[in-house]
Every structure is written in C-alpha cells, then in structure tokens.
Structure 1
Amino acid sequence: MEVSQMIALASSVIGALSLLLAFVVFLGNRHKSSNEEVMRNQLVNDKLDRNNEMARETRDTVRDMSRKLDDHAQTLVRHTEQIATLFKRVERIERGCDAREKADE
C-alpha cells in the first residue's frame, strides 16, 4: 500500500469520524433543546394554573362580597323603613302630648 493510499484512507476515516461526532453532537443538542422546551412549557403551564386558581378565588370572593352587599342593602332598607315608622310614632306621641298640654291649660 502506497503512502498516498494510506493518506487517503486516513483522511476518509477522519472524515467519517468527524461526521459521526457532528451527528452525535447534533443529537445531544437536539435532546437538550427538547428538554429545555419541555421545562419551559411546564413552567408556563404552572404559571397559568396559578393564575387560574387566583382568578377562581377572586371570582368566589367577589360573589361572596356581592351577596353580603345585597344582604346589607336589604338590612338598610328594612332599617330605613323602621326609622320612618318610629318617626311617625314619635310625631303621633308628640301630637298627643301637645293635645294633653292644651287640654290641661
């Protein structure tokens, strides 16, 4: 075997090894990239789940406050009516007292 053939064979082996190494590095980077994307997607999904839970809690809190506000409004209406009734009673009692005072004079 001549030197030129040996150099050609060595070059071919080196080329094949270089090609194999490049392919292995490519697959490794692709796998790493895939893992990073999966981790990134998981992080985004976790954040979305947290936001969803906070939105549910906020909605429930708003509903509860709305119910309480309705209850307070009904109580306020009832108390307003009771106060109006009490003022009418006081006026009637005052008129009765005034009429008695005039009768006593």
Structure 2
Amino acid sequence: MSPRSPNQQRFLTDVQRLLSTLILREVADPRFNGVSITRLEACGSEHINVWVFHNAETDQQLCIQALNRMAPHFEHKLRRSFSKRRLPKIHFKWDANFEKSGDVLQMLRNLERP
C-alpha cells in the first residue's frame, strides 16, 4: 500500500465523517443501526472502498447489499458537500478484520483473569 498524501488523507477522513453522519441521521433502515465505518481505502481515483462493521448479529451480505444500493444516494450527498467535480464511486465491504480483533481482545481479557 502506497503512502497517502496529506490531501488524500484529509479527503478520506472528511468522506468517512460525512458517510457516518448520513448513515446515522438520514437513513431510516433498521439494518443500519449500529453500522460503523472502520476505514476507507482509495483505489486510484475511481473507487473508494468503505469497510464497515456491524456490532449486532446481522446478515453481513444483506447489510452490504443494502448499503451498496444506497451508494448513489451517498455519492450525490458527497458531490453536494465537496467542491470536486468528480468523486470516486463508493463500494461497501465487510470488515472481517474488525471481528478478529474483538476475538484477540477477548483472549487477552481471559488471560488477565486469575
């Protein structure tokens, strides 16, 4: 993975903040309650992978499919918020690494107990 320029990092941070706000406040779908954006990854200038995690027991595929169906709405809101003419397409993906990190934390907590 190549290092990001400060401008690109700032742009991705702003996109993450705005997407989180949109999911929280503007979407009334109960499948998105508890969805967290864990990271964003720019794939050239054409795509942004948005890695998400849901803290409840939910069907990962259905959640990702629903988010990807909402992607044009999110892209429209991003275009209105940023001065750039062309914004990358958004693709939502499930962050399985986040689940694994929770398992590691649980193992560490178990080691602390006498």
TM-score by length of 2: 0.21
Q: Which has the higher helix share?
A: 1
TM-score where L is the length of structure 1? 0.23
Larger radius of gyration: 1
Q: Which has the higher strand share?
A: 2
